[in-house]
Structure 1
């Protein structure tokens, strides 16, 4: 999405800007598709130079039972989100009289092909049209321009799920999540806890890919014993050459590139930013086992930490009448979430040191 915002033509940017806003908003705020589609044109406000707010199309509800939660419709947002919505205002300024942010007229104005479609007149953009725009974004941008294989596609409601899981992994308590997500009861978010393991694995995978693209890790493995296909894969990664390590400090199965060693040393090279995995060919199997064993240990620790995070969140002392919670419990929840994120970063760093195409080479 960030590449698209940087590289798109003005027409592409205007056409797909509802998709940009859907992604930017609903991956952070757990919005239902209908809530996103019925955002008012004046939904955001600048309160001060640093405080921005968004008003959601939710019906504010007062709790009727002791286990119910007051629903709120106003949340704080960051400056980037505020400015993105202001940019969309500029694209649709001639429709300023319409009370909705997203309109069918705007969609029709940027539509390239018109089929025979019967559509009941509506003031805001119908979901069917936003679904269609998302399909077009996959086909014309992600697949054609960025070579996405198209094997899996998100639906409009998936990002609400992502937002809930992301908030849980960041250490938000259940009461805060419910109020932000529009849940009137705490138990409505219970099923999301069961998806945190898969969500964290996906998060690690994406971070691994980021390390590979941006940090040029996994590119110094000796290729003496590899097949021709595997050697070709590794050569495509190989940006660091042996001569780059001439003045580096030799450590376990590689080199330390930290000029301030040992002042910044964490005690284990495997998840260190300054470490480059570069084993000698006679130690290659041993070196790979050294990495994978620690990766598996971290996987077990991550699972334990997710279970602990779930338990703590569910046992926080909540007062639903006053919409408050125990500060001590929240501090423990935040500490546990920070520890979980530390483990996730460590695992991503370790896993990124082996190109995924050659992880199974020992079995050949």
Structure 2
């Protein structure tokens, strides 16, 4: 965990966000544990799974998440999946909050997660207008609230999350030193996630139920930290041969199949392989399937320099790693420039550029992880 010290936690006006490397480890735990939550002894953690699944994609405050209704997935005739999100906004010249509802297009993952939890509520014979009823919480914990409430409230959810850290993160997965994530942190993760995917600031504000995003430019410095942490963690998983399932459609909460078990080779019969720069290619159809550079080949290239060429080979990797880091930073700057643009005359053009640079960013992050993994191998 020493590497975490090199990734400073981003600072916000009122509080700090947790270390992004720790966030990625927590994400891996959630993605593994969600297949265990079907066991009755873990049912109590369904709200935690839903919180992570939904609010890392849709920017939501904790009270908005906990106010979700049971019937939040309306049936439509367009074949698309929509979710109804409760929002709050300040009344004009009044301290009171005005509640309204927002319809947002969502993925199958979110739909399935909610449906699974609704089924669990049915098995407990719990029928409520709320998706997170107080009755469900009381199946596992004492009520411990002064004012009556028919839904789980914020401090109860915090208690549930604390229990998850103790019982699951620490006792089951043996991660004892992670920065703890607060219920409100995921709203910021979702915004960073959307920035990295190439959403413009107006679209992000709209999906967050706001008219504007405060401190929008600050998110880009934090996006850079997140990208660094992501590359390092992906590098580790490559080396550990555990990168079969990583994130897709974003950086948190979902999965992406990028690599497979062939990602690292051990050379046994190198005379059977094609000699290439500082290593070998195992592809029988060489060079028909070659990518742009051997250093980013996942399936067929393994790095195996001779003793005489070792120092030169390491410099060869280092130079490409630096080049990829520069490309990552360049695309982050492009995304920042086009996302924050206030020009309404070339909206479609800027949208297409954002999409292009977001895809390139993710590609170069993957490529840098592949290259950096070869250093760790050595």
After superposition, the Cα gap between the structure-2 partners of 1:214 and 1:44, relative to the gap in structure 1 and judged at 3 Å, is farther
- The CA deviation string for residues 103-125 of structure 1, in whole angstroms up to 9 with x for no partner, is 232112123xx5x9454221221
What is the DSSP-based 3-state SS (H/G/I as helix, E as strand, rest coil) of the residue aligned with 1:287? helix
CA distance in 1, matches of 2:41, 2:309: 51
Q: Equivalent residue for 1:225?
A: none
Change (3 A) 1:26 1:245: farther
Corresponding residue number in structure 2 for 1:260: 285
Structure 1 residues 311, 241: closer, same or farther in 2, change over 3 A?
closer
Structure 1 residues 9 and 215: alpha-carbon distance in aligned structure 2, compared to 1, 3 A threshold = closer
3-state secondary structure, aligned to 1:155: coil
What per-residue deviation string (whole Å, max 9, x for no partner) do you get for residues 308-340 of structure 1?
Answer: 211111225338xxxxx7211211221122222
1:145-186 CA distances to partner (integer Å, 9 max, x unpaired)? Answer: 222233322111121111111111111112211110122125
* Contact residue 103 and residue 124 of structure 1 kept, 8 A: yes
- Aligned residue for 2:217, secondary structure, equals helix
Distance (whole Å) between structure 1 residues aligned to residue 215 and residue 116 of structure 2: 35
Q: Which runs of 5+ in 1 are unaligned?
A: 64-70, 218-237, 320-324, 359-364
- Aligned match of 1:158: 185
Shift in alpha-carbon separation, 1:266–1:242, aligned structure 2, 3 A: closer
- 1:152 and 1:124 map into 2 onto residues whose CA distance is 28
Deviation sequence 1:183-239 (CA, Å, 0-9, x none): 21255533322311111112212322332334689xxxxxxxxxxxxxxxxxxxx98
Cross-structure match for 1:16: 45
Q: How much has 1:244 moved relative to structure 2?
A: 5.0
Report if aligned partners of 1:53, 1:77 keep a CA contact under 8 Å in 2. Answer: yes
- Gapped regions of structure 2 (runs ≥ 5): 1-29, 93-99, 245-262
- Alignment partner, residue 298 of structure 1: 324
Does residue 138 in structure 1 map to residue 196 in structure 2?
A: no
Change (3 A) 1:167 1:216: closer
Q: CA deviation at 1:306?
A: 1.0
1:225-278 CA distance string (max 9 Å, x none): xxxxxxxxxxxxx98433153422122222112232212222321111122122
Three-state SS of the structure 2 residue aligned to 1:74 is strand
CA distance in 2, matches of 1:133, 1:245: 54
1:243 aligns with 2:268: yes
1: CA distance, partners of 2:73 / 2:90: 21
Secondary structure of the structure 2 residue equivalent to 1:163? helix
Give matches, 1:55-74, under 5 Å.
Answer: 55-59=84-88, 73-74=102-103
- The Cα of 1:17 is off from its aligned counterpart by 0.6
Work out the CA distance in 2 between the residues paired with 1:162 and 1:244.
Answer: 46
Q: How is 1:99-114 mapped onto 2 (pairs within 5 angstroms)? A: 99-111=129-141
Per-residue deviation, 1:27: 0.9
- Whether the aligned pair in 1 keeps the contact of 2:36 and 2:42 (CA below 8 Å) is no
Q: 1:26 to 1:199 in 2, by over 3 A?
A: same
* 8 Å Cα contact 1:216/1:239 also seen in 2: no
Change (3 A) 1:249 1:50: farther
Asked if the contact 2:133/2:152 (under 8 Å) is kept, the reply is yes
Which residue of 63, 67, 90 maps to 1:38? 67
Q: 2-side partners of 1:62 and 1:329: how far apart?
A: 34
**In the alignment, is the contact (CA less than 8 A) between 2:273 and 2:280 conserved in 1?**
yes
By how many angstroms is 1:133 displaced?
A: 1.2
Q: Is the 8 A contact 1:60 1:73 kept in 2?
A: no
Task: State the distance in 1 between where 2:294 and 2:121 align.
Answer: 53
Deviation at 1:137, TM superposition (A): 1.2
SS in 2 for 1:25: helix
Equivalent-residue separation in structure 2 for 1:239 and 1:252 (angstroms): 17
Normalised to the residue count of structure 2, the TM-score between the two structures is 0.77
| Cα distance in 2, alignment partners of residues 216 and 330 from structure 1 | 31
Q: Secondary structure at the match of 1:55?
A: strand
Distance of aligned partners of 1:178 and 1:264 in 2 relative to their CA distance in 1, 3 Å threshold: same
What corresponds to 1:283 in structure 2?
309
SS of the residue aligned with 1:255? Answer: strand
TM-score normalised by structure 1 residue count: 0.79
Q: Give the count of matched residue pairs.
A: 323
In the TM superposition, what are the counterparts of 1:1-364 in structure 2 within 5 Å? 1-8=30-37, 10-48=39-77, 50-59=79-88, 73-93=102-122, 96-111=126-141, 117-187=144-214, 189-214=216-241, 240-273=265-298, 274-315=300-341, 317-318=343-344, 326-355=347-376
